[in-house]
Structure 1
Amino acid sequence: MNAPRDKSYADSLNKALTDPAEAAAYLDAVMELGEPAAVLVALRQVVKAHGMAEVTRRAELGDKSLFKALNENGNPTLDTVNKVLHAVGLRLSVAPAVHDTEHA
């Protein structure tokens, strides 16, 4: 993706994260890191790209609940994560882990 030089990274990221396929790939890649704090930051970025107020409305969460769940010290429940993902056009799923057969 070639962006104009005067366009900021944050603007490009926000635009990309409004696309469900891009947001899903982004969250999936971050989850591979195995760092809960990084997942929380990535989820917060996806929410910001869609507009915090709009996601709050769609997820049927209180303003303060969403902000608290997604802040740097947040610890959102599975229910909250599920509601947020649905509000941005995504869903939570589980897939088999890919293991290196030489180390199995």
Structure 2
Amino acid sequence: MPTTKSYHAFLVSSLQDPEKAAAYLDSVLEDGDPQHIRLALKNVAEARASLTELSNAVKWRECYELLEQGEMPNLLMLVDLLNELNLRLSIAQKT
């Protein structure tokens, strides 16, 4: 089995923990690379979706499909996705 698959499985498994998922996204957002952000969102969505009862499944699925296609959802879709995953987006002053 390729290493990337086992790493991906480990990553997705670890991101089922909401604190780890939040720290992971926070770190990637700090990096600022749009491709990394998109991939991190996809990984967290994959990990957390199995644990979360998605109240707005159609909107969530639409957002996730954008991530799967390599596109970035708009800000409101992103906020909705994070909300469904029991996470939130926040802004802080750079130090």
Q: TM-score, normalised by structure 1?
A: 0.72
Letter in 2 for 1:41: L
Q: CA deviation at 1:18?
A: 1.1
The answer to whether the Cα contact below 8 Å between 1:59 and 1:84 also exists between their aligned partners in 2 is no
Q: TM-score, normalised by structure 2?
A: 0.77
**Gap regions ≥5 residues in structure 2:** 1-5
**Gap regions ≥5 residues in structure 1:** 1-7, 99-104
Q: How does 1:1-104 map to 2 (within 5 A)?
A: 8-51=6-49, 57-60=54-57, 61=59, 63=61, 65-98=62-95
The answer to whether the Cα contact below 8 Å between 1:59 and 1:86 also exists between their aligned partners in 2 is no
Indicate the percent of aligned positions where both proteins have the same amino acid: 33
The answer to whether the Cα contact below 8 Å between 2:21 and 2:44 also exists between their aligned partners in 1 is yes
Provide the alpha-carbon RMSD of the alignment.
Answer: 2.1
Aligned residues: 88
Q: CA deviation at 1:37?
A: 1.1
Q: CA deviation at 1:50?
A: 2.1
Gap change, CA 1:22 and 1:68, over 3 Å in 2? same
Runs of 4+ in 1 over 6 A off after TM superposition: none
The answer to whether the Cα contact below 8 Å between 2:60 and 2:81 also exists between their aligned partners in 1 is no
The answer to whether the Cα contact below 8 Å between 1:27 and 1:42 also exists between their aligned partners in 2 is yes
Structure whose CA Rg is larger: 1
